[in-house]
Structure 1
Amino acid sequence: MSRKVGLSANTSQFTLEGEAFHILGGSIHYFRVPRAYWRDRLMKMKACGINTLTTHVPWSLHQPEREVFNFHTQLDLDWLLRDGSMRLRTTHHGFTQAVNIYFDKLIPKMVPLQFKKGGPIIAVQVENEYGSFAKDHSYMLFIKEALQSRGISELLITADHHNTLKSGGVPGAISSVKLQKLNLRDIQKLNAIQPNGPSLVMEYWE
């Protein structure tokens, strides 16, 4: 496999290096599982037929204080709120400054692990359920640029509920939907906003 193209969403189905790729994913939060059990849990997921793993990267654990970073142990961003003017998840200067400082530490650890560089990361999610928050239209563009300018080159994704898909999206990233119950209606809403793209359910719980 050449690993030059990576995961693509240019048609109604995903392709990986030009070959059709059906995502059957599962989520595991490494920070909630003791490190000694990581391999066991991953092997069990693989045995279930899962070919794609999703995980969150918790800012609150990796940067517990303004100048303190932790990427070494098992892993609230209350320090952010000590600034009385702080507006989270917006382009407020104090928040974008904090994001840039965090990304300067985090993203260099992710870049070498991208699929095109021989690693396992095939996609990166820009934000999570921002459509439910959506107070600043420039914010998603800021996050996207913050990722790409630091070397993220894999497929970008957003994830929202069916009724906030448009407000949570950003040009250059594909949208995915979150389902509490399996239903065709919500998937049709996703297809309506990206008719030429693949259908992706990022989270499903019932």
Structure 2
Amino acid sequence: MGRIAKTCLRSLLKLANSVMGIIGIAMILYSCWMIRVWQRDSSYDDYSSTGSWFIYSFLGIGFTLGAMACLGHIAADSANGSCLSFYVVIISLLLLLEIAMTADMLLNSDWEKDLPEDPTGRLHDFEDFVKSNFDIFQWIGLLFTLAQGLSILLAMALRTLGTNQGSYYNYDIEEDYAPERLPLVNNKVQPSPYVKVISDPRFATNNSSTWNANK
């Protein structure tokens, strides 16, 4: 029963990580498209400048999500307590960062002014694209957040289940080897042959007769 539950948790954890992996791949592909368009519409001096922070930040986020998905798959397959704990910490920090950024965007109406200027114009195009498809991006954001929260819960449950199974396994091993230690505990000391000779009734009778005769 424990093995079946562990297999189900692994499958669900991989499925939740697949959602983050798909979103990360989509961001990488979109970043490559933005880089291609920027190379086509810009000169070499503009291309070599450091003003393309939005494109590279978008690309870095995509690679980060892809790496997190790979880490989640590795942690699910290994079911190692240390690996699962590290995965839970990383996902929790990423989720807290996303919550902080979302709260800043909701509470600060001028959050766009805090961002540096984007000479490529990709930030403005992406903002218009999100606004025109706000309902779709809203569901994507909700699915992404649920996948992260579910990944944390599944990783913690898998780690707990693996620890309990390890303790049961050690207990079974001790039970299996217990009968082999019983002879050592219940080992009775064999009486010495001299004691057996002395305690022989015939020998005791002969000694008594000889002692009476001598007397």
The bucket for the TM-score relative to the shorter chain is under 0.3
State the TM-score, normalized to the length of structure 1.
0.23
Larger helix share, 1 or 2: 2
Greater gyration radius:
2
Structure with bigger RCO (C-alpha 8 Å, 6+ apart): 2
State the TM-score, normalized to the length of structure 2.
0.22
Larger strand share, 1 or 2: 1
